[in-house]
Amino acid sequence: MNMVSKNKKLKKIKKLLYNRKINEALQIAGEDIGLLFHIGFLAFEKEDDEMAEKAFDRIIQCNPDIAEAWEGKGFSLANVGKYAEAVHCFDEVVKIDPDDTEGWFFRGILLQELDRYAEAVHCFDEVVKRESGNAEAWYNKGVALGNCGKHAEAVQCFDEIIKRDIHSAEAWCGKGVALEHLGEYEEAVHCFDEVVKIDPLHTDAWIKKGVVLGDLENHEEEIRCYDKALEIDPENVKAVLNKGVGLADLKKYEEAVSCFDEVLKRIPGNIEAWLIKGVVSDALGNHDEAVHCFDEALKVDCDNTLIWYSKGSSLANAGKYEEAVHCFDEVVKREPGNAEAWYNQGIQLQELEKYKDALHCFDEAVRIDPHHSGAWFNRGIVLGNLGEYTEEVHCYDAVLKIDPRDTDSLFNKGVVLASLGEVDEAVHFYDETLKIDPSHFGAWAAKGLALNDLENYDEAVHCFDEALKVDPGSAEAWSNRGIALGHLEKYEEAVTCYDKALEVDPDNVNAWVNRGVALWGWGEHEEAVHCLDEALKREPDDADLWFNKGVILGDCGRNDDAVRCYDEVLKRDPGNVIAWVNRGVALGRMGNLHRAVVCFDKALEIDPHDVKAWYGRGVALQDLGKYEEALICFDETIQRDSDYGKAWYSKGMVLAELGRHDEARKCVSEAAKRGFTVRK
């Protein structure tokens, strides 16, 4: 074809392309490779990638070994986001010419777009093998290595550029990012300083420097970096957002919220701004506002588990446990392997007292992460609430394998062992807790209670003293110190302790009761009764309080009042054997012997083996002169407790009344052997 004819064709083709008649233009070009390339390049000028692709595709059909045609087709596909097809084109380029560094380079760039970073690294290696000074290839290799998590190798790539060009701002910037990932924050800051020396208007470097200063917890300097970025580019959303995060780290929550609001004015659907604003609002205690923020974020991305998790945490902080459970459920539906979400769902179910459901959640958490000490610990709490105390102890053991110095687990293990009756073992674990934390109030207080149980009252008092050094305002510790002193018959000191407890908590029923018991022991019976009355003002339906008042009144000789107290007990607890027995004793003292026998009979209906009921019945029958029946009662008593000296003596007295003097003397002798003597 001569030149004139070719120029005519070219003019026609341009006109057709101007009118977007690509197929007619291709028809005129036929198999003329030169004209087809013209069509492709003209299409690129017009930014018509579809037209360009058709032109380069026609060349490939004519001759599949032309690398430039594959390259052109690859660019046209890449421009419309068809990266996988574009990669195929550059595969053909480097097959045709393995030394085509541009082909390798663009293949690497496209693979990065597809997140195929390891393959991208290979492509950039092929470039730098052939062109060791190719800064773009070194830079992109560094970026790809960073995306593979190979940050140390990435640093080497950026250093290759800096060796050749110390003023490469982008290389310093890339190196700074890689060093940040390696946790080498000071060196990273140095890199970003180099960037802004080279280019003081490098907004991204100011922002990245701010991020690293945040990692170093230098938040004031961090914020100055974001302010510098905003001087350069007042519309930079990233700088505003990061400034909000820095202000939140400084606990300047109101200022932080203003930053997030500024971002959301510009980009109403910015998930990150909604999310962090929600977290900050929650920290301010504005839980409803926080939940609103998370809901706005979920409108943009309803499958974002971090948002669901944050919403759940905020609802939990607001005490809305049912709704919080729903949020954590949304997390585990999408991420069944999220141990933290299972754990937090368990915590909310625990708050709702749904212990079996909570147990399932903690089981899942420790299955996924066997080293999740929080899940093991709370699994123990839940098992305790379900009455599975041995299993509860195993959970605390699991925590202690992970962290032998976990004082909460050491302490709780002691508490459970004490409840199982293993009091000595419990004391050991309280001691272990106190070795690690000598100011652990709970361990001192619980050790004191355990020593009370072991009748080691002096040591118990010492423990409560130590507990009160930690918390002088603990009514329970003052009250328990009083109990220990009462056992030591130091009633006056005990009463002082209860007074201290009642100063702190005037409505502490236990302190009123124990004060009454101490005063009773001290012989101050009327004052003791007053204490029981104070307790009953606060808990008038407590059967034990009525019982204790009855005991004290009986001891004062106020038997009619004592009977009324036992009546109050039996209204609330008709099966209380000892209340029936004590009522019988009080009636007997008043001379109401028949009514007394009825009380002992009631007690024996409930518990046919109650020794005191048999004995009391015997005494009443003896006083009624019913010696044969009384004898049966004393025999029943002795059969159940052969060391009951009073029963032996009373049996002897009854036998004497029946004229069986030899047997009577033997019984009195048995009573004496058991330490019972008659007071004269």
pLDDT in tens, 5-43: 555 555 665 655 555 666 666 666 667 677 777 777 877
Q: What percent of the chain has pLDDT over 70?
A: 95
Alpha-carbon distance of 203 to 609, in angstroms, equals 90
Judged by average pLDDT, the poorest of 200-204, 524-528, 563-567, 644-648 is 524-528
Which residue shows structure tokens 């062992």? 417
Cβ atoms of 519 and 528 within 8 Å: the answer is yes
CA 13 to the chain's CA centroid: 71
Identify the DSSP state of 575. Answer: T
Q: Is the pLDDT of residue 327 over 50?
A: yes
Q: What pTM was estimated for this model as a whole?
A: 0.76
Give the CA angle between residues 291, 295, 297 to the nearest 5°. Answer: 120
Q: What percent of the chain has pLDDT over 90?
A: 89
Q: Return the amino acid letter for 219.
A: H
Quote the pLDDT of residue 25.
62
Quote the pLDDT of residue 1.
45
Query: Mean pLDDT over residues 542-546, rounded?
Result: 95
Residue whose C-alpha is closest to residue 413's, from 424, 434, 397: 397
Quote the pLDDT of residue 41.
80
Cβ atoms of 68 and 77 within 8 Å: the answer is no
Alpha-carbon distance of 294 to 301, in angstroms, equals 10
Query: Mean pLDDT over residues 587-611, rounded?
Result: 97
Residue 421, token pair as written in the block: 């009756």
Residue 242, token pair as written in the block: 């990061």
Q: What is the pLDDT of residues 405-417, one digit of tens each?
A: 999 999 999 999 9
Residue 163, token pair as written in the block: 């060796």
Give the CA angle between residues 52, 53, 58 to the nearest 5°. Answer: 100
Q: Is the pLDDT of residue 434 over 80?
A: yes
Identify the DSSP state of 652. Answer: H
Q: What is the pLDDT of residues 348-367, one digit of tens each?
A: 999 999 999 999 999 999 99
SS3 of 246-305: HHHHCCCHHHHHHHHHHHHHHCCCCHHHHHHHHHHHHHCCCHHHHHHHHHHHHHHCCCCH
User: Residue 3 — very low, low, confident or very high, per pLDDT cuts 50/70/90?
Assistant: very low
Q: What is the pLDDT of residues 40-98, one digit of tens each?
A: 787 777 787 888 888 888 889 889 999 999 999 999 999 999 999 999 999 999 999 99
Alpha-carbon distance of 272 to 244, in angstroms, equals 11
Q: E strands within 437-534?
A: none
Quote the pLDDT of residue 12.
61
Per-chain mean pLDDT for the chain: 94
Q: Is the pLDDT of residue 468 over 90?
A: yes
Q: What is the pLDDT of residues 227-236, one digit of tens each?
A: 999 999 999 9
Query: Mean pLDDT over residues 213-220, rounded?
Result: 96
Which numeric CATH code is attached to 612-680? 1.25.40.10
Quote the pLDDT of residue 47.
81
Residue 81, token pair as written in the block: 């986001």
Query: Mean pLDDT over residues 376-385, rounded?
Result: 98
Identify the DSSP state of 625. Answer: T
Alpha-carbon distance of 258 to 219, in angstroms, equals 17
Query: Mean pLDDT over residues 382-387, rounded?
Result: 97
Quote the pLDDT of residue 33.
77
